[in-house]
Structure formats: C-alpha cells, structure tokens
Structure 1
Amino acid sequence: MSDRPIRIGVQLHPQQADYAQIRKAVIRAEEMGVDVLFNWDHFYPLYGDEDGKHFECWTMLAAWAEQTSRVEIGALVTCNSYRNPNLLADMARTVDHISDGRLILGIGSGWAERDYTEYGYLFGTAGSRLDDLGEALPVIEARWEQLNPAPTRKIPVLIGGGGEKKTLKFVARHADIWHTFVQGDDLAHKIDVLRGHCASGGRDLADIEISVGVGGRGREGRLPDAPEVEGRPLHDLGARLFTLGIGGPDYDLSVAEPWIAWRDALNAVS
C-alpha cells in the first residue's frame, strides 16, 4: 500500500449544465494532469434544482473515452440495479476498448429512490440491494472471461461504500479500489475491518487501492482543506486516490490545482 503513487481524481457532476460545459471540463481536467475522471450514475440531480439538467452515465463515459487520451475514466459509482450484470460487463468491456484500456468499473448497490421509482426499478431494501450486488460481481467477472474480444486489461473494479458485514467483504473478494468518504478514526477502523476480510479470503490488503472523497466545489460547496492538512492524515492511513467533486455549470477546477501539486511533490520523493 505504501509503495503506491498518490493519484488525484475529479468527479464531474453531470447535472445543472449543458453537455458542452461538461465536455470543456473534461478537456481542462486532463490538461491539468488529473489522474482519474469520474461521473456518477443517476437520472436526476442530487442537489439544486431537482428537475434540472442531467445526463446519463455510460453513454457519457463512451464519449469521454474518445475525447481523452491519458486520464482514466469511470463512474463513481455505477448502480448495480440499473443494468443486467452481463450487459454491464459488455458495456464496460466496450468502453475499455474505446479508451485503449483506461476504464475503471466503479460499482455500488444503489440508494437514490427517485431513480428507481421514476425508471421502474424495484427499490427493495438496502440489504436486498447489497445482496444483488454480491450476486452480480462474479457474473460480471465471468462475462469478461467469455467476451470476444476480451477486455484490453484486467478492468479495475472500484466498489464504493463502507458496510462492514457485506460491502467490505465484497471489496476484499472483488475490488481493486475501495472508495469511501469516511476519514479519521472511522477510516482507520474500516481499513482494519477490510484487512480482516482480506485475511479471511487469503488476499493482501496492499492489493487494494484506498480512495477517499475530499470535498470540492459541489453539493454543499464545502471546499477541502489544504492537502497538507486533510490529505496527509489520510495518506498516512493508507489512502492513495483522493477525489474532489466538482459541480456545474461552471466546473471550477481550480480546487484541484493544490492537490495535483501535492501529488507531484510526494510522488517525486517516494
């Protein structure tokens, strides 16, 4: 875990903006040197005008795959409930090829009830949605083994969430990246829980990149602390991917600049 380089991610919230504004933000983020660009998988805005402009996740990722040449791309995160897992595996494989091997499959169990009810999906319970995710993950992996052509690489799987009995067990079994928003003592505790699940499954925790959300210009508008203040304690606990959320329509990416500089400084001496 300690040997991993620091990476900086940006999640561009695909809401309250025209697509031309999103496209410009993608170009700017790659030019700045961001390592990973995420969107999210929802059908309606998560804040602001609840009926405001919003765009679909996976068609957007395919466009980003053509538009960019270096940055990794993915959803933070895909809702497992919205697509048959075999179809999702094929979609991911296709975007993987379009991007020349830069896709991350971010996935979670889902939570936004309006998405489910408006689009006709069964909302169920938090437990049933997690059970569905647990069933889907090996199906996705098996489909990747059958597709022709095969994915260009082992597509990294990112699992979001922090449930200790189910989600972190899925992370230990299936994920290359674990994403969370918890920090401090809560993060230390959950890493210990994840370490235990890895040990039970015969896996090394060091195989899993720990990703942490550190705020940004979106949702409630909380700006992250300076990376030396907020990022260093997370880094010391094992986090290596630090992701900032950026809202539209202006997509002010200046908040990422100190984090990119911090990344470069620490990676240069590691």
Structure 2
Amino acid sequence: MTKIWIDAGHGGKDSGATGNGLVEKNWVLSVANQLQSELVKAGFEVGMTRTNDTFYELSDRAKKANSFKADLFISIHFNAGGGKGFEDYIYTSTPAGTVESQKIIHKNIIAKITKHGMRDRGMKRANFAVLRETAMDAILLEAGFCDSSDATILAKKAYQTDFCAGIISGVQELFGTPVTKYRAGKYLTSNDAISGKNIKGYLEAGTKVFVYKETAKTLNLTTTKGVPGSWVLKTEVNTGKR
C-alpha cells in the first residue's frame, strides 16, 4: 500500500507564523488531521509527524518519515512577510521524479483553490531541512499569507477543504486510487454504471487504479495511467454492493 507522510509544521513552543487571528501551528494541524482522514478513506496508509500540539525538531520530522518508509512527504505550512498567494517547495537538488511530483501536486491544488481568490506564486526550490533530509519525494506547501488579505481566505473552512482536496487529487494522480475494501462493478459506459446494467466484471479489492475521468455520479477507473478504463458508480466503490 502506498504510504503518505503528513508533516504539520511547527507545534508546541514554535507557533510558526501569526497574523489576523491565525496561528500557523493550529491551522496546519487542523488541515493535516482532515487530510489524514481523507487519504485513509481513499485507501492510502498515512503517517503523521504530530496529531496534537507537540514540538519536533526538523531532523526528527525527516527521521520519522524515513522510518515509516513513506513514498511521499508533504509538509503543510502557511506564510507571513507581506506577500500573497500559494507556493510550494522541493529541495534545491532533486531527481526528475520529484520535479514531476511537484508539478502534479501544484497543478491539482491550484485547480481547487483559485476559485477562492488565492494567487498562484509558483513552484520553487529551497534548502529546507525537511526536504533535504527525507529519503523520499518531499514537498513543502505554503497555503497563503496570514498577514495579508489571504488571511480571510485561509480562515474559511471551504478553503481548507478545497486545499485538502487538491492535495488528495495530486496524490491520486501520482499513485493511483487503491480500491482496498471490496469490489466495484465495471461498466462500459457511465449510464450503465448508473443503471446497474451491462456489467462487464469487477475491480477486485486491492486493485491499484487511476481516475481517468469523473462525472457527478461515476468514475472511469483504469489500471493503466492515461488510458480510458471502465465506469463505476462512486457510491459503490469500497461497498461491494454489486
């Protein structure tokens, strides 16, 4: 099973950035807990640096993720310093695969959060310890600036939910969407999946799939990334109804 490590920045004696009533250590922990819950529902194994208001040194954060043997490390933060917008970072010297991971995660987050008015500050690189000392692909996310007009956006629950949704979409594009609990019926068309007619087979529990296309009620799941697959009803994935 694909392993994702969530690093909620700061904690304990380290409050992180503050402004307009927002405290970074509290905001990122709330988002991290929401993200953990949603990733587990999506079929990923998730480890976390912290689940409460605890301080960890930067090197310890990397060590915990390395011991977990995570496939991806995601560090969650927000910014201060007078700017505006979302940005993300990977290590200054990094493999091509990490660069591609950054592109995919950045694209998916931006697709979810721009409707809230959050500016795209782009993809960047930095010599941050949690990026340098982790053994897997690692990305650090800066969700916005708490000391600018971004604070109004950051405070909205809808923004936090969409921020998480963007991360999840990026992770699913990178690793696929494991169907972990039960089997889902495979249908030729979206309408077949809705009606329950013309079933062609099943996606067995544990099948690693990618989302090729999505409608309000159905998913086109494929075992080969980028290639059309078969349709399933969203409500039947991991329920074993058919």
Asked if these proteins are the same fold (TM beyond 0.5), I'd say: no
If the length of structure 2 is used for normalisation, what is the TM-score?
A: 0.31
Higher strand fraction (1 or 2): 2
If the length of structure 1 is used for normalisation, what is the TM-score?
A: 0.29
Q: Which has the higher contact order (CA 8 A, sep 6+)?
A: 1
Higher helix fraction (1 or 2): 1
Greater C-alpha Rg = 2
